[in-house]
Structure 1
Amino acid sequence: MKPMASFPAETARRIVCVLTDIDDTLTTDGQLPAASYAALEKLRGAGLAVVPVTGRPAGWCDMIARFWPVDGVIGENGAFYFRHDPVARKMIRKFIATDAERAVNRSRLTALSERILLEVPGAAISADQLYREADLAIDFCEDVPALPRAAIDKIVCLFESAGGIAKVSSIHVNGWFGGYDKLAMTRIFLRERLGLDLDEARDRIVFCGDSPNDAPMFGFFPYACGVANVRDFEGSMSATPAFVASKRGSEGFVEIAERILSARASA
């Protein structure tokens, strides 16, 4: 991983879209600082599309799509995208699975949650589970004392043994049934809402993230960037970002945004 200071200015001037994780990328210690939010505004003000790509739930994403300075949001690790049209006063929602499929999967996830809580002492259903449409989030450090790595691995194993997919973020293990991830829904969103072909545009898009559930994005985008806390997961991710900020969390995101914006301003 190269330092963010070496991010090519010529590449920064060609960027058309910034995709970003939220937890521990835009936030620090569970809070969204003004500087991080302002960086989103500045990027969008510079003519870039801005799209959070997060594991957070549909309820949160509805608010983010409506109120934040973004072009849409991809949530629950790729289960859906939401985009608010302020002219039509309409929220556009696209899910990978049908209503019926999500209902069946919800029953399976509810049964699985009981098994996980029984077999992994200290784990908890995430506080935001009430607002989720497609996945199950198991809290291992957000609102509970941090669990050891072996416990996190056990949660992942339980999801996978039930035929599900599990991804580890900086705070939760998110699990679901269905063959999708952050990258799959990003491809759909960019095509349907921004008119971008992901394969053609991949070197003009920056993704910012911090943890293992961002690995598909890190592996796909040649100019992916991580905040400094991504180094906490070195050796446990299938792919890492090409560039890494010197600062952690929201300060790292601001560092990434400023590198892109300063290069574009000097063009």
Structure 2
Amino acid sequence: MRPIAEMPRDVAAAVKVVFCDIDDTITTDGRLTGAAYQALEDLSAAGIAVAPITGRPAGWCDMIARFWPVRGVVGENGAFYYAYDWDAHRMIRQLHPVVEEHVTNPHRFERIRQRVENEVPGAAISADQAFRLADLAIDFCEDVPALSDDEVERIAAIFEEEGAIAKISSIHVNGWFGEYDKLTTSRQFATDILGVNIDDANAQIVFVGDSPNDAPMFGFFENSCGVANVRAFEGRLDATPSWIADRVGGAGFHQIAYQILSLR
């Protein structure tokens, strides 16, 4: 991971798309700061297409797609993307193809819920679960006292033992049925909404993240970036970012955004 301050001018000048995680990437201690939001505004005003790629729920993503200065949002770790068409005044909502067969079974997570409750005391269903379409989010530090790394790994293992996919973020373990992740649906979003093939345009896209569920994005994008708190997950990431800020959370995102903007 190279310091973001060393990103060359030609690399920064080529950037046309910024994908970014939300929690602990553009937020700081659970809050979206004015500086981080201004960075989103300024990237967009510079003609760079911005899209959050998040584990947060459908209900949040509808609001984000409507109200933030972004081209759209990929939510629930790739279960869908939302994008608001300002010309037609309509929301475009696209589910990943495997999602529909699972959301018709409202009891699919019941055994997992029971096992987490019994086997990992202190864990809790995320407060935003009511706004989710496709996954189950287990809170291990957002609104509950922080659990140990071993307890977090045990939650992920319960999902996997029950045949689900599990991904660890900085605040939740998210689990779902069906094969998809952040990269899968970011690829579709880029094709459908941005008219961009991410394989051909890899060098023109930056992803900014902070935690293990961002690893597919870190591994794919050659100019992926991490905010400084990604270092807390060293040794637990399947792939690491190419560039890293020296500030945490939203301040790190601000630093990365203005490194790109200042060299254009």
Is 1:250–2:250 an aligned residue pair? yes
Q: Which amino acid aligns with 1:93?
A: R
Equivalent residues in 2 for 1:113-128, closer than 5 Å: 113-128=113-128
Matched to 2:104, the amino acid is A
Aligned residues, how many? 263
Find the counterpart in structure 2 of residue 173 from structure 1.
173
Q: Which amino acid aligns with 1:101?
A: H
Indicate the percent of aligned positions where both proteins have the same amino acid: 58
SS of residue matched to 2:200: helix
Partner-residue secondary structure (3-state), 1:174: strand
Once the two structures are TM-superposed, the CA of residue 103 in structure 1 deviates from its matched residue by 1.8
The answer as to 2:229 corresponding to 1:229 is yes
Letter paired with 1:131: F
Provide the C-alpha distance between the structure 2 equivalents of 1:44 and 1:32, rounded to a whole number of angstroms.
17
Task: Give distance in 1, aligned partners of 2:232 and 2:92.
Answer: 36
Report what 1:71 is aligned to. 71
Per the alignment, residue 130 of structure 1 pairs with: 130
* Structure 1: distance between partners of 2:191 and 2:125: 34
Matched, 1:43 2:43: yes
Cα distance in 2 for residues equivalent to 1:211 and 1:188: 22
Q: Could you tell me how far 1:98 is from its partner in structure 2?
A: 5.0
Q: Deviations over 1:63-90 (max 9, x none)?
A: 0000000000000000000001122110
- Within a 5 Å distance, the mapping from 1:48-59 to structure 2 comes to 48-59=48-59
Cα distance in structure 1, aligned partners of 2:186 and 2:12? 20
Mapped partners of 1:251, 1:10: distance in 2 = 24
Q: Distance in 1 between matches of 2:236 and 2:197?
A: 30
Rounded to whole Å, the distance in 1 between the matches of 2:84 and 2:109 is 29
C-alpha displacement of 1:141: 0.3
Deviations 1:12-51 (A, max 9, x none): 1111100000000000000000010000000000000000
TM-score, length of structure 2 as denominator length: 0.98
Does residue 209 (structure 1) correspond to residue 209 (structure 2)? The answer is yes
RMSD in angstroms over aligned alpha carbons?
Answer: 0.9
Aligned counterpart, 1:101: 102
CA distance in 2, matches of 1:256, 1:121: 38
The amino acid across from 1:260 in the alignment is I
In the TM superposition, residue 113 of structure 1 has moved relative to its aligned partner by 1.2
The SS at the match of 2:143 is coil
Q: Match for 2:198: what amino acid?
A: L
What is the distance in 2 between the residues matched to 1:230 and 1:7? 18
Amino acid at match of 1:143: D
3-state secondary structure, aligned to 2:36: helix
5+ long unaligned stretches in structure 1: none
Alpha-carbon distance, 1:110 to partner: 2.9
**CA distance, structure 1, for counterparts of residue 86 and residue 191 of structure 2:** 20
| Offset at residue 100 of structure 1 (A) | 4.2
Q: Which runs of 5 or more residues in structure 2 are unaligned?
A: none
Q: Which structure 1 residue ranges, 4+ long, deviate > 2 Å from structure 2?
A: 97-101
Distance 2:101 2:14 in 1: 42
Measured in 1, the distance between the counterparts of 2:247 and 2:55 equals 22
TM-score, length of structure 1 as denominator length: 0.97
2: distance between equivalents of 1:122 and 1:84?
Answer: 38
